[in-house]
Amino acid sequence: MRIALAQNNYIVGDIEYNLQLIKQSVAQAEEQDADIIVFSELSLCGYPPEDLLLRPDLYLIVDKALEEIKSLKTGVAMVVGHPRQDGEQVFNSASFIYQGESLLCYDKQLLPNYAVFDEKRYFTAATDCPVIDFKGVKLSILICEDLWFKEPAKVAKLAGAELILSPNASPYYYGKVEVRGKEMGSRARENSIPVIYVNQVGGQDELIFDGCSSAYNPDGSTVFMAAEMAEDFACIDFNQASNQLTPLKPSTKQFEEHEEIWQALVLGVRDYVRKNGFPGALLGLSGGIDSAVSLAVAVDALGKENVNAVMMPFRYTASISVEDARAEAEALGIEFDVISIEPIFDAFMEQMAPKLEGTEPGVTEQNIQARCRGTILMGLSNKFGRLVLTTGNKSEVAVGYCTLYGDMAGGLDVLKDVPKTMVYQLARYRNKVSPVIPERVITRPPSAELAPDQIDEDNLPPYEVLDEILEAYVEQDKSISDIVSLGHDEAVVRKVIRLVDINEHKRRQAPIGIRISPRAFGRDRRYPITSGFGRQFK
């Protein structure tokens, strides 16, 4: 039996577009004499559809598309994911369609409701694990979460299943490919049953789906892995007599760590811009490390002709910052403009002078600089339609080292889930591909350049220290004493945690950012803005 894996990049809610992708994949499967083609979880509507699932008209469109799939003149059986409404209940389903009929409709048993998942908000959990006999082979369908736990696969095996087909929509974070492979291999080995795993690929708002569809033999070994961060199509032969899977093409070479993260960011930017219909992107280029990396990601994602960078100098901007920004723009071949904020800032201060009389210059004046820049970028976005990319990294966003309606003004934050120390690593990785970031941008002390001779360490611990504390507190929920026990100064830990806690209001108003870690701000980490928790520890 030959099974085709269709690793497609769907658009949530665009059922007609997704239907065309499915049709194209079925045609490929026919060309390769496949018996079955497996699509990813909720392939017809895309994943995650969120509150689109609350719309009655969604199901009318989905049902119409399913009827069109059934009407296809093909000898290939299809496993298609879709939401299914049954009275007041909604199920996350996969239909086994063959020659105009739905021979089986499997409903997902285990509904994830943690991290970025909210499936219990929408779906009802099923309890049945049916097995279908197709051309003499007993098949079981298990959807995504069903395979992350032992029981569903065990029940399928006891019901006589000889092969598990698994549609998935498994979001990416760095290290996820290895974790996922270990789990899927375990299910195959525990039940001595081959597993074919089909994942979707592409960016959906802040989420990245990495693809890496795969196949596992009964001993748990990975016999095939599809492309990472790209669409792919492959066929796997199942030999019933030997209980073995054999791919018709070799696995795609997987990325190294920093290349993988870079490609995830590229995919996230490309799909957010493309799927939302923007003609391109623009960003403020400061001559610093964050905007340099963000620019390089944007150009790799969209092409140099679709990216515009604007340098907005002020009296505190070092001449080398202007030089480095221009060098970055020239290396990447993009449109580059220089617009001084000096007269704009002066106009603001002139109008506010009566109210500010008798006060000392400080953070207020620094933030006004940032807001002048944000206004320029948003004005250019309104005029030319390009999406403003913000450039704040996870470390800065965590402690509020950013300005509301200033450098936080924009539609997508490329580095929102990338710690500062990793930003440097990504810069060095990208320069190995081709030199686009001047060396002194990487080596000079980071600075917001909002005050004379300002550097980040005037206000923050060294980023090596800060990032370790943030990982422990934000991603691992460790307490103050736990973090201090890791070797950090208690006063520094308390300062960092206080900064994280009091800046929740900023993060709620920040643009979304591409998720690459197991615990990102936004969908993953949802803390109250108004909260007394932690006051007892001060």
50-77 tens-digit pLDDT:
999 999 999 999 999 999 999 999 999 9
Sign of CA dihedral 236, 239, 243, 246: negative
List every span in the chain annotated with CATH 3.40.50.620.
Answer: 258-537
Q: How much of the chain exceeds pLDDT 90, in percent? A: 93
The domain defined by 2-254 carries CATH number 3.90.180.10: no
Mean pLDDT over 369-380 rounds to 96
Q: Which pLDDT belongs to residue 419? A: 97
pLDDT tens, position by position, 458-514: 788 999 999 999 999 999 999 999 999 999 999 999 999 999 999 999 999 999 999
Q: Which pLDDT belongs to residue 447? A: 78
* Confidence bin at 173 (pLDDT 50/70/90): very high
HSE toward the beta carbon, residue 282, CA cutoff 13 A: 24
pLDDT tens, position by position, 234-244: 999 999 999 99
In the residue annotation, 372 being an active-site residue is answered as: no
Catalytic option among 41, 119, 206, 471: 41
Decide if 344 contacts 448 (C-beta within 8 A): no
DSSP string across 26-64: HHHHHHTT-SEEE--TTTTT-S--GGGGG-HHHHHHHHH
Catalytic option among 144, 235, 372, 402: 144
Q: Rounded CA gap, 480 and 537, in Å?
A: 8
Annotated binding site for L-glutamine: 114, 170, 176
List every span in the chain annotated with CATH 3.60.110.10.
Answer: 2-254
Annotated binding site for ATP: 284-291, 391
CATH fold of the domain at 258-537: Rossmann fold (3.40.50)
Catalytic option among 45, 105, 108, 162: 108
List C-alpha distances in Å: 36 to 29, 194, 230, 401: 8, 15, 22, 53
Mean pLDDT over 132-158 rounds to 97
* Confidence bin at 453 (pLDDT 50/70/90): confident
Tokens of 318: 């070092």
Residue with tokens 């802040």: 206
CA angle centred on 308, ends 436 and 206, rounded to 5°: 85
Cis peptide before 218 (omega within 30 of 0): no
Annotated binding site: 114, 170, 176, 284-291, 367, 391, 396, 506
List C-alpha distances in Å: 409 to 284, 381, 392, 431: 11, 11, 10, 28
3-class DSSP assignment, residue 168:
strand
Q: Which pLDDT belongs to residue 240? A: 97
pLDDT tens, position by position, 19-56: 999 999 999 999 999 999 999 999 999 999 999 999 99
Residue with tokens 């990785």: 429
In the residue annotation, 45 being an active-site residue is answered as: no
Q: Which pLDDT belongs to residue 537? A: 55
In the residue annotation, 402 being an active-site residue is answered as: no
The per-residue pLDDT of the chain, averaged, comes to 95
Q: Which pLDDT belongs to residue 536? A: 58
Q: Which pLDDT belongs to residue 423? A: 97
3-class DSSP assignment, residue 91:
strand
* Confidence bin at 345 (pLDDT 50/70/90): very high
Beta bridge partners of 22: none
